[in-house]
Amino acid sequence: MFSATIKTRIISFQWTSTLQDGTDLYSCVGDSIKLPWDYSVQDGEVVEDIKWYFKPGNDSRRVIATVVEGNFLPLRTSFSDRIHPVLQAGLTLMFVTGQDSGEFSVSVSIVQGTSFAVYNQTALLVVAEDPLVYGAESLSARQERVAVYDNKTGQLHVQLSCGGYVIIGHPPLSVEWTFPSGEKHLTSIHINGFFIINLPNPVEGGSYTVSPVVPVTSGLVFTPKRKRTQEFIGECGRELDSNKVLFEARLSRDQSVYRDRVILDRVITNEGNAYNSSTGEFTAPFNGTYFFFMTVYNQGSTSSTIASVCDEVTCFCQVMSLSSTYYGACQAVRHLSTEDTVWLRSDRQGTLLSSFTSFSGFSVHPDIDLEV
């Protein structure tokens, strides 16, 4: 949209710049900002006058530059030695200061025969005297260790985060994630200095890249402590492992147990070869999140824990017996490091029936190590 003062409208005049009328621009102190205003006219149309204006806050608008006999002439203001013409009606402002926040505008007067019109464009410049974003020495992207449940999808999702900074004002920021397939996803959700994205299921294997997206600006956006930087681009340090891990094991016969590890020796499936039927142990092949499921049918133990799923640290999934003959099941999600082991353990004396006792699990997702 643009405004015009018209005696007789000159229809062929058009603004051709990519900078839209009323655009908000953001800059840091000391940077340069470009106002790339441009237009097109037809033969017979004469540009009679061009003027540039600055309006600070609620103060009145004042002229800062004009064109005299085809020559650019900056007026005696604080801008006089810092503004230069660009394109046909644009300006470049050098060495931006905190006092430069305000509305910049241009007026182009066109004459065609007896027709006369004035066309205007404006832009609002916001200057941050302090860095817009503070960050640590090393900004980073990472995969969160715990999967996140999404109420909309009803599923658990791998969550990636990117940041390590504090947003202290303008501009409004967002980041763009590029998936291994090349598909791009924009997110502006940030929590405690980290932009967050939940990966859709199934998780795509490959390299993930993240980069900032900000409003039109030539100014600095991300400023780590003690060091300024002009860009912030991160890429996965390791590809997401697309190999699946899936196992299910059962007893080949009924087994009398008493506070001991249960070795389920009949393997139904063992994709990834992470389950050992000789020891009854599942060994994590990579850092990641895993799902485990256990079913037991016990005879001879009452009112106590009869079986648990355990690792080297603790037992995190138990089945309680409420009668002398009891069938139960439990499930758990657990984060494991490479070479961590998980197994099924009996907690009381009794007999586990082979037809109803099982131990199974699969990988939900591996960790993604991201470094910027």
pLDDT average per 10 residues of sequence, the chain (372 residues) = 50 83 82 90 86 90 90 91 92 90 93 86 80 48 74 80 60 74 81 79 77 51 33 31 77 83 91 91 89 80 66 81 68 88 83 85 73 38
pLDDT of residue 27: 77
Question: Is 234 part of any domain?
Answer: no
Question: Is 1 part of any domain?
Answer: no
Question: Residues 60, 147: one domain?
Answer: no
pLDDT of residue 138: 44
Question: Residues 92, 152: one domain?
Answer: no
- Domain's final residue, options 128, 154, 174: 128
Question: Residues 90, 155: one domain?
Answer: no
Question: Residues 59, 117: one domain?
Answer: yes
CATH number at 62 reads: 2.60.40.10
Rounded CA separation 39/43 (Å): 14
Q: Which domain holds residue 202?
A: 132-213
Question: Is 52 part of any domain?
Answer: yes
pLDDT of residue 306: 64
- Domain's final residue, options 111, 128, 145: 128
Question: Is 94 part of any domain?
Answer: yes
Question: Residues 61, 155: one domain?
Answer: no
Question: Is 71 part of any domain?
Answer: yes
The two beta strands, 234-236 and 370-371, are antiparallel
- Domain's final residue, options 128, 163, 195: 128
Gap between the terminal Cα atoms of the chain: 40
Question: Residues 123, 181: one domain?
Answer: no
Structure tokens at 257: 């147990």
Question: Residues 262, 362: one domain?
Answer: yes
pLDDT of residue 238: 32
Question: Is 96 part of any domain?
Answer: yes
CATH number at 358 reads: 2.60.120.40
pLDDT of residue 236: 26
R_g of the chain computed on alpha carbons: 33
Query: How many separate domains does the chain show?
Result: 3
Question: Is 69 part of any domain?
Answer: yes
